């Protein structure tokens, strides 16, 4: 399903892809019908509204005219087990910060959640925001130079702790006094910024539900952010995410993070001109230009490309230059460091049965 159809209906990183079978057949479990998808036999004559950032039917009463909301969330080893609300996001963008650590720009639109731990902004966020059409942007603060750019940016609506009307929301939703103390209900941010921001349009192209994914069957992928090692493993319906060998679950017995899609961009980084409180240089993702990309969807991986002009939105293409199509659902966008991230596709694991080589499922 392409964008027009949906709207009408409503230094370097190492990436490793492990092949699960030859591309001629499938050993993976078939994709299950997405939660919330309607049974055609019971669908009314009124077409369901489709959430532009996920390609999924929106729940009854969902306000798809509201802006996207970007919330900065920490994912250092100490913050990792405290995370909440990421499973409800439409899109999650992963960016490198100081010391080889990573931080998330968590994008909400079709659902609400309590999300955290909310942390500070980075200059990379100024290039991420335009992809979501004048979104609300929430953070717990940042370097004074960065915060000046955030507050004066025309590409977002400043909804950080220092912005007008926001301090009381942060104070009301503070837990303790550590760096990881803020957990914000997205509904409260939306209420405080009623009437602000723009309505997001689609960022990705999605396949018609049930259509097969393009690419080669894979077991998963690994990404090296120096201080953080990220792994994804196909579980039959999504890509189960881990960091430094630890499975990513939401706090308090919450669900495992396993998005429908993972898009991995080979991303150059430069010095932003700012340092953190320890004096460590803060990197900035260079998101103008073009580069290679991996698209993980439906148990398969396809190598393609990304491009973006200044102030514009990402364009994602397959090897033939056509729009890269994803599975309707949540997408994680990994900004993997390296101007030309090295990639290695491993051959299928084989075993010998009765003297014949067979592909390991």
What confidence category does residue 22 fall into, taking pLDDT thresholds of 50, 70 and 90? very low
23 vs 206, 222, 298, CA distance in Å?
21, 20, 13
Rounded Cα distance, 247 and 221, in Å? 14
The two structure tokens encoding residue 66: 């509201």
What is the rounded (10 degree) CA torsion for 154, 158, 163, 168?
A: 160
Q: Are 117 and 74 spatial neighbours (Cβ–Cβ below 8 Å)?
A: yes
Residues with Cβ < 8 Å from 98, sequence gap 6 or more? 275, 276, 278, 280, 281, 282, 283
Q: What is the pLDDT of residue 277?
A: 84
Mean pLDDT calculated for residue range 62-76: 97
Place of tokens 């939105």: 313
Q: What's phi and psi for 152, nearest 5 deg?
A: -100, 0
Count of all residues that appear for the chain in the document: 361
Q: Are 222 and 294 spatial neighbours (Cβ–Cβ below 8 Å)?
A: no
Q: Is the pLDDT of residue 1 over 80?
A: no
Q: What is the pLDDT of residues 248-278, one digit of tens each?
A: 999 999 999 999 999 999 999 999 999 988 8
What is the rounded (10 degree) CA torsion for 193, 194, 196, 202?
A: 100
Q: Is the pLDDT of residue 4 over 70?
A: no
Q: What is the pLDDT of residues 38-54, one digit of tens each?
A: 444 444 445 679 999 99
Q: Are 314 and 308 spatial neighbours (Cβ–Cβ below 8 Å)?
A: yes
Q: Are 87 and 126 spatial neighbours (Cβ–Cβ below 8 Å)?
A: no
Q: What is the pLDDT of residues 241-250, one digit of tens each?
A: 999 999 999 9
Q: Count of CB atoms within 10 A of residue 361's CB?
A: 12
Mean pLDDT calculated for residue range 86-114: 97
Of the chain, the percentage scoring pLDDT greater than 90 comes to: 78
Report the chain's mean pLDDT, rounded to a whole number. Answer: 85
Q: What is the DSSP letter of 338?
A: S
What confidence category does residue 19 fall into, taking pLDDT thresholds of 50, 70 and 90? low
Element housing 11 (H / E): none
Q: Is the pLDDT of residue 330 over 50?
A: yes
């Amino acid at each position: 399903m392409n964008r027009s159809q949906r709207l009408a209906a409503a230094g370097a990183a190492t990436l490793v892809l492990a092949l699960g079978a030859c591309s001629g057949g499938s050993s993976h479990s078939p994709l299950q019908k997405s939660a919330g998808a309607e049974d055609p036999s019971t669908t009314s004559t009124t077409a369901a509204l489709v959430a532009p950032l996920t390609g999924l039917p929106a729940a009854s009463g969902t306000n798809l005219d509201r802006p996207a909301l970007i919330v900065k969330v920490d994912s250092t080893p100490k913050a990792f087990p405290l995370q909440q609300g990421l499973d409800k996001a439409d899109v999650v963008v992963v960016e490198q910060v100081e010391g080889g650590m990573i931080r998330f720009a968590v994008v909400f639109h079709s659902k609400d959640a309590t999300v955290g731990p909310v942390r500070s902004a980075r200059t990379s966020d100024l290039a991420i925001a335009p992809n979501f059409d004048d979104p609300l942007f929430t953070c717990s603060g940042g370097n004074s130079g960065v915060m000046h750019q955030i507050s004066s940016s025309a590409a977002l609506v400043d909804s950080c702790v220092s912005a007008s009307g926001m301090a009381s929301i942060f104070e009301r939703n503070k837990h303790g006094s550590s760096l990881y103390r803020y957990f914000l209900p997205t509904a409260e941010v939306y209420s405080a910024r009623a009437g602000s921001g723009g309505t997001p349009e689609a960022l990705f192209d999605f396949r018609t539900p049930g259509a097969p994914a393009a690419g080669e069957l894979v077991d998963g992928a690994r990404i090296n952010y120096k201080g953080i090692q990220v792994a994804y493993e196909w579980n039959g319906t999504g890509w189960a995410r881990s960091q430094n060998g630890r499975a990513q679950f939401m706090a308090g017995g919450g669900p495992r993070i396993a998005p429908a899609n993972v898009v991995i961009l080979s991303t150059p980084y430069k010095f932003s001109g700012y340092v953190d409180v320890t004096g460590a240089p803060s990197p900035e993702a260079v998101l103008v230009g073009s580069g290679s990309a991996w698209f993980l969807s439906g148990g398969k991986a396809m190598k393609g490309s990304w491009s973006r002009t200044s102030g514009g939105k990402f364009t994602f293409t397959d090897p033939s230059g056509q729009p890269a199509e994803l599975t309707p659902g949540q997408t994680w966008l990994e900004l993997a460091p390296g101007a030309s991230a090295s990639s290695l596709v491993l051959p299928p694991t084989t075993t010998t049965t009765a003297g014949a080589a067979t592909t390991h499922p």
